[in-house]
Amino acid sequence: MSIVRNENLADAGRLKIDWARSYMPVLKEIEKDFKKEKSFQGMSIAMSIHLEAKTANLALTLREGGADVRVTGCNVLSTQDDVCAGLASHGIEVFAWRGATQEEYESHLIETLKGHPHLILDDGGDLMSLIHGDYAGLGDRLIGGTEETTTGVHRLRLREKSGQLRFPMIAVNDANCKHLFDNRYGTGQSTWSAILHTTNLLIAGKHVVVAGFGWCGRGIAMRAKSLGARVIVTEVDPVKALEAYMEGYDVMSMDEAAAIGDIFITVSGVTDIITGRHMKKMKDGAVLCNAGHFDKEISKPDLEALSDEVCVRRPEIAGYRMRGDGRWLNLIAEGRLVNIAADNGHPIEIMDLSFGVQAQALKYMAQHGKELKPQVYPAPAEIDEAVASFKLKSLGISISKLTDEQKLYIETF
């Protein structure tokens, strides 16, 4: 039995799910195969991932392949209660609500694992932590799984290195059809969508500080520039820092940027990017937000320690008044993934690609997981090619093909 906030929201949730579905041609194409082949017949799949309309369509696609699917969220603020109710009304078992406490969140993860899954789909690594800890017994049928995001892949690799990984996992994040589009264009657009609608501020002319120039940071900086911002990048990797410089951005340390920035966006996947030391230098009215996986990039304990008043300044924005000088520092969505916690997450077409990779990677794991060692694997290149080809076909775009002579030229060159 599903555990959702309010079953009466099912109609609103189904509307959202249907809207998303009509812009997901890749998943629809994959669903046709799953239906025919019954790729997951007799299998149970546990999913922990941002629970909104696009994800609901992935769960439904997997179900069409014969899977028994159980779903929970991976972040308490990204779960949408109407979508949960809508998905549950489609007969999928859902365990989640927005704003769950840490305890409730964990109990939802455990409920999801109670189906004794054959496959897991994780986003950030919380399911994996339970299955490698106190709830190892619920993983007795596990063949393998997939991981959606950079931080989760990082955690997986640490587990693999320490020899603790129990079953094979595919790093979906590292597939080209995932990070090239999702991390870059998806996070780029949706982070700005969240900032624009929560703050209602003008971006043109403002100093925007992007901390981390990885795939997500590149997208966020690119879109900031197109909105007319003066973009500052902070990095620890000299190559990425140089790349940012050559893209035309100012590059400096956070210690220097702190006094200049109007809007700060952390997206490094690392903790304590903005701490009290930086907050003390920031301008009155500075806006802070995070697009990295965990809410640890901006130190909330430091914000609290430095302030004498905390209040809601707009929906989703907490104002912290700095003790002594009365400056307001404004934090969006509690420092959690801003694009998902304070907006609708990635655009639908982007998630169609990411979930196309997810669905195909799970099918691959269902077929080959038993032959694989407990390691972290890249998604096979054919998956990237298939997903990109489905998408191009849906756009009516045909591309050139290598002639036999050209193939020979490449092979013998």
Binding site for ligand NAI (CB under 6 A): 149-151, 179, 183, 187, 211-217, 234-237, 240, 267-270, 273, 291-293, 337, 339-340
Pick 155 or 327: Cβ nearer ligand NAI: 155
Pick 4 or 298: Cβ nearer ligand NAI: 298
Closest contact distance (angstroms) between CB of 212 and ligand NAI is: 3
Closest contact distance (angstroms) between CB of 233 and ligand NAI is: 8
Closest contact distance (angstroms) between CB of 137 and ligand NAI is: 29
SS (H, E, C) the chain: CCECCCHHHHHHHHHHHHHHHCCCHHHHHHHHHHHHHCCCCCCEEEEECCCCHHHHHHHHHHHHCCCEEEEECCCCCCCCHHHHHHHHHCCCEEECCCCCCHHHHHHHHHHHHCCCCCEEEECCCHHHHHHCCCCHHHHCCCCEEEECCHHHHHHHHHHHHCCCCCCCEEEHHHCHHHHHHHHHHHHHHHHHHHHHHHHCCCCCCCEEEEECCCHHHHHHHHHHHHCCCEEEEECCCHHHHHHHHHCCCEECCHHHHCCCCCEEEECCCCCCCECHHHHCCCCCCCEEEECCCCCCCECHHHHHHHEEEEEEEECCEEEEEECCCCCEEEEEHHHCEHHHHCCCCCCHHHHHHHHHHHHHHHHHHHHHHHHCCCCEEECCHHHHHHHHHHHHHHHCCCCCCCCHHHHHHHHHC
Pick 216 or 366: Cβ nearer ligand NAI: 216
Pick 39 or 344: Cβ nearer ligand NAI: 344
Closest contact distance (angstroms) between CB of 345 and ligand NAI is: 7
Pick 117 or 212: Cβ nearer ligand NAI: 212
Pick 117 or 214: Cβ nearer ligand NAI: 214
Closest contact distance (angstroms) between CB of 236 and ligand NAI is: 4
Closest contact distance (angstroms) between CB of 122 and ligand NAI is: 12
Pick 2 or 358: Cβ nearer ligand NAI: 358
Give the CB-nearest residue to ligand NAI: 214
Closest contact distance (angstroms) between CB of 165 and ligand NAI is: 19
